[in-house]
């Protein structure tokens, strides 16, 4: 019998984008072009597959490989979308054919004086000995940094 385990993790990231309208920040997540501009792996990671169906019940899938051959796979389902205000989705994260985690992500977009505040909360279940050690939060912070760069371009 194989040992199965789950370790839980939760993190919240809040960002404020001065001089950026809430709809523009929302569109960075809600449109294929917006998401493609910043949502990809690090370094020499290359996209092998990308699907984007942004609607409740729709899926987003991104598969990529490093030059070493390592493969990762993000497989998401959108559950709740309030245009310009909220996105709720769940996703599996895979590496080399092994499911590492299942996560629930919620994003809230709020107008603030002269810009937008984004609040992202993620709850993860890390499976069968996968020790995340904060890497998911760190990677998400890097993605938010990359997204901010695209908003300012």
Cβ 78 vs Cβ 54: under 8 Å: yes
Quick one: DSSP state of residue 133?
T
Share of the chain above pLDDT 70, in %: 99
- Residues contacting 7, CB < 8 A, separation 6+: 125, 126, 130, 131, 132
Q: What is the pLDDT of residue 61?
A: 97
How many other β-carbons are positioned within 10 Å of the β-carbon of residue 10? 11
Which carries the bigger pLDDT value, residue 44 or residue 122?
122
Q: What is the pLDDT of residue 43?
A: 84
Q: Where are the domains of the chain?
A: 6-152
Structure confidence at residue 129 (pLDDT): 86
Tell me the CATH class for 6-152: alpha beta
Contact indicator for 60, 70 with CB cutoff of 8 Å: no
Query: Residue 141 — very low, low, confident or very high, per pLDDT cuts 50/70/90?
Result: very high
Distance of CA 128 to the CA centre of its chain: 22
Which tens digits make up the pLDDT trace of 33-84? Answer: 999 999 988 888 899 999 999 999 999 999 999 988 899 999 999 999 999 9
- Quickly list DSSP for 32-68: HHHHHTT-S-STT-EEEEEEE--STT-EEEEEEE-TT
Give the per-residue pLDDT at 2: 65
Question: Residue 69: what pLDDT?
Answer: 87
Euclidean distance between CA atoms 135 and 27, whole angstroms: 26
pTM of the model: 0.93
Q: Is the pLDDT of residue 4 over 80?
A: yes
Q: How far apart are CA 6 and CA 53, in angstroms?
A: 29
Is the pLDDT reported for residue 1 higher than 50? Answer: no
Band (131; pLDDT cuts 50, 70, 90):
confident
pLDDT at 77: 98
């Amino acid at each position: 019998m194989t040992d199965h385990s789950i370790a839980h993790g939760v993190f919240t990231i809040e960002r404020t984008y001065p001089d950026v309208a809430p709809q523009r920040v929302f569109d960075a997540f809600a449109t294929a072009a917006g998401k493609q501009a910043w949502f990809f792996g690090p370094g020499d990671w290359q996209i092998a597959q990308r699907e984007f169906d942004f609607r409740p019940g729709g899926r987003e899938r991104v598969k990529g490989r490093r030059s070493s051959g390592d493969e990762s796979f993000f497989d998401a389902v959108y559950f709740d979308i309030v245009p310009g205000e909220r996105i709720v989705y769940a996703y599996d994260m895979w590496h080399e054919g092994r499911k590492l985690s299942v996560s629930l992500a919620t994003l809230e977009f709020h107008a603030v004086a002269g810009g937008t505040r984004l609040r992202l909360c993620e709850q993860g279940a890390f499976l069968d000995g996968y020790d995340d050690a904060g890497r998911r939060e760190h990677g998400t912070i890097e993605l938010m940094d990359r997204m901010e760069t695209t908003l300012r371009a």
